[in-house]
Amino acid sequence: MAFTLSGDDVCQATLPTPVPDPYWVAFSTSSAKLAGIPLDDNNLPADKAWLEVLSGNQLDAGDHHFSNPIATVYSGHQFGAWAGQLGDGRAILLGDIAGQELQLKGAGKTRFSRMGDGRAVLRSSIREFLASEAMHGLGIPTTRALSIVGSDLPVRRETLETAAVCARIAPSFIRVGHFEHFASLQKHERLKELADLLIQDHYPECLQTKDTYLDLFKRICKRNAKLVAQWQAVGFCHGVLNSDNISVLGLTIDYGPFGFLDQFQIDHICNHSDQGGRYAYHRQPQVMHWNMACLASAMIPLVELQCNESEAQEQLRKALEEFPISYAQAWQSLFRKKLGFTTEQDGDIALLERLLQAMHDSKVDFTNFFRRLGGLKMNAPVDQIEMRDDFVDRNAIDQWFSDYLARLGDEFSNDLVRQNSMNQVNPKYVLRNHLAQVAIELAQKKDFSEVGKLLNILTKPFDEQPEHESYALAPHPNLDSIEVSCSS
């Protein structure tokens, strides 16, 4: 449900700033169905007024009147340092639609824009739109993207680009940073109102326990532990895991300098602005744990409502220690499934770690390797396995394949059942940066066909889609690495 806290210290009424001559760039029929928006034969909103609403030019479409658009305040830690007050600098919450919050990103300045212009550009909007829907296709919790509306309005970044507004929906956009904000100002009543709103709308089961706010913290931790394990399992790097970019619903939110792994490097950094590698692939679980510690600190006054200060701190500390356990359980379960195992054996994780080390040493394509692994025949002679050619240390990988095939033989008598199950967890298609870049460059020439094509492919990432085989390929080795930064 839409954010319902009121008051100038929480949010500010903010009208979107219109853009000239808006036009459709992309539209998600799946998200439209979630939002209850009727479509025409072209899979665009039947009510033409939606183009104006989703560009920020008006507030009425059909039976929907978004009478109170707002921007909310939050604070947070950025790259490990306290950044103080932040907020929705270019995101405006229009209101509720079919039980979801509808937000426009790039619709103009707000009170919390600081030095920003409140706009988003076509480039970053395409990346967020495609990533949101691709993650949903992979079964990973995420905010959803409804549309991109473009305009020829010039926007200055490193170069002069054109404006775009990305409409996104979620059950709630409440972040860890919202809790940090009120805790940092010692506005404990506001902190309690925020927690109570969250419990009422999204965690009602917490009301069944005597330690309501401690239970809320545990549930938020568990969701985010599972979320980051899911990222690791598909090779997704968020790129900027600041505490203000962490959803308290365990959703992937704020797609900026993200990237999916091509060549597997355990310490891969997808964000060009991340000079120290704080948000590298292998550090994402640790950083998410750190962000949960930030939330724990912010929630101390709430837990103190049900016990004294020292007890509150001890209870939150113990609850925080459950995060790595929850993460490890989720991570191990997901990677066992990626290897095709349906039962647990003591040597499974050691076998997996040997594989990941070998993949790292040889820079093996992450997505393609696991997908091809499903097609491996259990009776195949090791020296005839084509995938071994991807590895530098042939003896080591031969031994691994020998051990792996023996492990599969403990569970399966035929390949078909195993292959089907593995193909449901190992995607064939992910949003690789070079694919997004092609779509962006065409869109900048007013050709939006590739955005739509990618959307259709990525919403079915586990299907073979033989007509789109080239979209499953790793980027050509001669292709220049695409640098993605926080600029958007």
- Report the catalytic residues: 244
DSSP state of 84: E
- Reference 148, options 255, 12, 13; nearest CA is 255
Contact, 64 vs 49, CB < 8 A?
no
| Structure tokens that stand for 445 in this block | 């020439």
Total number of residues shown for the chain? 488
Residue at token pair 């694919």: 435
Contact, 407 vs 347, CB < 8 A?
yes
Query: Which residues are CB-contacts of 163 (< 8 A; sequence separation ≥ 6)?
Result: 19, 106, 119, 120, 121, 122, 150, 151, 152, 153, 154, 155
Cα atoms in the Cβ-side hemisphere of radius 13 Å centred on 121: 19
Contact, 216 vs 48, CB < 8 A?
no
Backbone phi and psi for residue 353, each to the nearest 5 degrees, phi listed first: -65, -35
Backbone phi and psi for residue 76, each to the nearest 5 degrees, phi listed first: 165, 170
| CB atoms near residue 187 (< 10 Å) | 16
Angstrom distance (rounded) from CA 486 to CA 124: 10
Contact, 52 vs 216, CB < 8 A?
no
DSSP-assigned states of every residue in 206-247: GGGSSSHHHHHHHHHHHHHHHHHHHHHHHTEE-S---GGG-B
Contact, 116 vs 87, CB < 8 A?
no
Listed in sequence order, the DSSP H helices in 346-393 are: 348-362, 366-373
- Reference 261, options 127, 370, 119; nearest CA is 370
Handedness of CA 211, 212, 218, 219 (dihedral sign): positive
- Reference 146, options 70, 50, 22, 58; nearest CA is 50
| Structure tokens that stand for 238 in this block | 């968020």
Backbone phi and psi for residue 474, each to the nearest 5 degrees, phi listed first: -70, 155
Distance of CA 152 to the CA centre of its chain: 28
